[in-house]
């Protein structure tokens, strides 16, 4: 199962806080969490490709159409180490996952390939 724990959308310039409620499943089941970062670099540097962004007044349908009809653009996916929830609260697990995603995004920005 995958989810976007920020619980909102943005323009890709910052990563918001992770909502801890989604991490309750991992805490209760003991299943590890795999932090994953997505990057959509544009040709002029590592910043979000406009076609991939869904935020502000953009509708879901409009954003989906923009992605489907855009010229192909690169997507970078990086996974961090598994985080085992044993002994962690859902808030601690959410914070640990966010910290790992921020590390992944930082590495992507400095070395996107």
What is the C-alpha separation between 58 and 63, in angstroms, rounded?
6
Q: Is there a domain that residue 3 lies in?
A: no
Return the CA Rg of the chain. 15
Per the confidence metrics, is the pTM higher than 0.85? no
Q: Is there a domain that residue 6 lies in?
A: no
| 76-93 tens-digit pLDDT | 899 999 999 999 999 999
Q: Is there a domain that residue 104 lies in?
A: yes
Contact 73, 51 (CB under 8 A): yes
How far, in whole angstroms, is CA 16 from its chain's centroid?
A: 10
Q: Is there a domain that residue 8 lies in?
A: no
Predicted confidence at residue 102, as pLDDT, reads: 92
DSSP-assigned letter for residue 72: P
Tell me which H or E stretch contains 41. strand 41-42
Whether 99 has a pLDDT exceeding 60, the answer reads yes
- Domain of 43? 20-48+76-110
- How many helical (H) and strand (E) elements, i.e. helices and strands, does the chain have? 3, 4
Q: What is the tally of structural domains in the chain? A: 1
Q: Is there a domain that residue 15 lies in?
A: no
Predicted confidence at residue 24, as pLDDT, reads: 95
Q: Is there a domain that residue 89 lies in?
A: yes
Q: Is there a domain that residue 63 lies in?
A: no
Q: Is there a domain that residue 1 lies in?
A: no
């Amino acid at each position: 199962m995958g989810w976007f724990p920020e619980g909102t959308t943005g323009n890709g310039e910052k990563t918001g806080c992770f909502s801890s409620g989604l991490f309750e499943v991992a805490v209760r089941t003991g299943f590890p969490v795999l932090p994953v970062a997505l990057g959509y670099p544009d040709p002029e540097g590592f910043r979000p490709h406009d076609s991939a962004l869904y935020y502000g007044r953009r509708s879901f349908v409009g954003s989906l159409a923009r992605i489907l009809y855009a010229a192909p653009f690169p997507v970078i996916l990086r996974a961090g180490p598994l985080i085992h929830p044993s002994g962690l609260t859902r808030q601690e697990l959410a914070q640990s996952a966010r910290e790992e995603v921020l590390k992944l995004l930082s590495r992507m920005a400095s070395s996107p390939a």
